[in-house]
Amino acid sequence: MFNSGGIESPGMDDPLDGAETSDSTEQDRYLAAMQDLTAAMAASGTSFRERVEPVLAVGREHLGFPNGHIAVVSGDEHEIVASSGLSSTITPGAKTPLSETYCRHTLDKAGIHIVTNASESMATDPAYERFGLQAYVGATLRADGSEYGTLCFVNDSEAIAEFSDWQRTLFEHLTQWVEAEIERELAVDTREQSQRLLEATFNSPETFIGILDADGNLIRANETALGFINADDEAIFGEPFWDTPWWNHDEAVASRCQDAVERATEGEMVRFEAEHIGADGQRISTAVVARPVAADGTVRKIIVEGTDITDLKRREEQMEFFNSILRHDILNGMTVIEARAETLADALGGTQATYAETILDWSRDIVDLTQKVRSVLNTMSDDGLTEAETIELAPVIEGAVNKAASMDEDCTLKTDIHEGVEVVADDLLDDVVGNILTNAVEHGGPGSTIEVTTERVGSVVRLHIADDGPGIPPAERDAIFEKGERGTESTGTGFGLYFVSVMVESYGGDIWVEDSDLDGSEFVVELPKE
């Protein structure tokens, strides 16, 4: 048994065992070949080619071929990756269509494929016509459970006799050793790729990353984190993480960090938010995750990741500011206008009463829109989820259908809905369904037909609103739910379907558009059941 680089060759029958080889000369040749092969493997270099080419040279010498080479096969491409001998004609990097190579026959056969006299057996073969090789011996190479390519020895000028038993055994040893080297190379490539990926992730300019030992002491940090505090790594590595400059500007922040790290040492993944002050005085907010890394049930390391959420916090503050304006200034003012307009409409007559009614209608529309905008703002800041409750779906649909029917007397609305079905939503579900139905009536044209149906699908209820209108092209279906988007014929703000999308998502549901059986569009609203 022989080995190289710690890789042991699989066992196989030795042709010298017993009395199978009687000719002492053949025995000597085999022993000499194995000695040379072992020496070549022991002296192999670091790269794949440096390791395999000396072995190919040994095989070439003892098998009696001017050239030995390894080829990788991908699809119909045959590429030489290592070669010994005939360097002017067979060189690494040379590519040939597989259909024009001797190797295509090798890949179709099990074991060793031998061509002793190609001029007789392959005279019309495309491979012989292109290369004119007189003799060939090859075997399929497999690595990582799949076909890799071939190991080949060729003679460009002379035919050969049949292989002897010891030559076959030598060739099999060569094949197995080359396969082991390919496996080794693939493993190295995989490790290197993984390492590059890990390093790229670790050195992300968007994330602060620190690695702690099991006691919570800092042992490594990425350049992004070090650059923020302009720290000398030698000065902070080995220190308790909560005592480092990222935290020591504020005792409460440092205490929060220490608590998170101590919990992580017990195996818990901890999330918290914190503010940091950089070396230049820059103040940022971060979302921090302390993640334990365990082996054999014991925490060995702790990875701490901090993501800059300063802009997110600023947007949340802005939304809260605008929400406050809507709630206290606009909504309160419009409520006063609405009340006064209602009083005037009751007190006045004729044209003046009509004007007052117009003011009242517009006031109610603005109040309704303001409430919807507030709902979207609350939902986007995660406040809207807390108000979700169970809503019976049928009355919501019936109310929205009646309102939509009043918009067009010639419109036909058909319903087939389940009674007693409750979904997770809030009191704005009326507006959600109403917006979709209103949209169907507006865009369906006079006398359109709209069908409203429901179906139970596992843990959700699907509401289908189909029409026979002009439809919505597939390329535009996602865009209609985006902020400010509206159809080319619409005179609205483009807020309605955006509001619908945001609210449905806040309920934990989904909404999409597809073709309807009525040859128009079909809105599908998926809502979780109670």
pLDDT tens by residue, 115-133: 999 999 999 999 999 999 9
CATH topology of domain 204-308: Beta-Lactamase (3.30.450)
Average pLDDT for 151-171: 89
Angle at 123 between CA 122 and CA 124, to 5 degrees: 95
**Percent over 70 (pLDDT), the chain:** 86
Q: What CA–CA distance (Å, rounded) separates 309 from 319?
A: 15
Band the pLDDT of 295: cuts 50, 70, 90.
confident
Domain ranges for the chain, please list them: 3-191, 204-308, 312-385, 388-528
Query: Two tokens at 485?
Result: 């988007």
CATH topology of domain 388-528: Heat Shock Protein 90 (3.30.565)
Residue 311 CA, distance from chain mean position: 25
Q: Which helix (H) or strand (E) holds 395?
A: helix 393-405
State the residue for tokens 């139970």.
456
Is the Cα dihedral 356, 358, 361, 365 positive or negative?
A: negative
Query: Two tokens at 218?
Result: 């800092």
Q: Which ranges of 231-281 does DSSP label H, i.e. alpha helix?
A: 233-236, 251-265
Angle at 85 between CA 83 and CA 86, to 5 degrees: 105
Q: Over 80: is that where the pLDDT of 367 sits?
A: no
Collect all residues with Cβ–Cβ distance below 8 Å to 176 and sequence separation of at least 6. Answer: 9, 10, 12
- Is residue 238 helix, strand or coil? coil
Q: Over 90: is that where the pLDDT of 478 sits?
A: no
Q: What CA–CA distance (Å, rounded) separates 459 from 135?
A: 69
Do 3-191 and 388-528 fold alike per CATH? no
Q: How far is CA 416 from CA 154, 188, 444, 451, in A?
A: 78, 63, 20, 8
For residue 154, is it left (φ>0), alpha (ψ between -120 and 50) or beta?
beta
Averaged pLDDT of the chain: 83
Q: Over 70: is that where the pLDDT of 101 sits?
A: yes
Give the CATH H-level superfamily of domain 3-191.
GAF domain (3.30.450.40)
384-429 pLDDT per residue, tens? 444 668 889 999 999 888 888 887 788 889 999 988 889 998 878 8
pLDDT for 522: 93
Q: Over 50: is that where the pLDDT of 20 sits?
A: no
Q: Look at strands 135-143 and 113-115 and give their pairing.
A: antiparallel
Among 153, 118, 149, residue whose Cα is nearest residue 133: 118
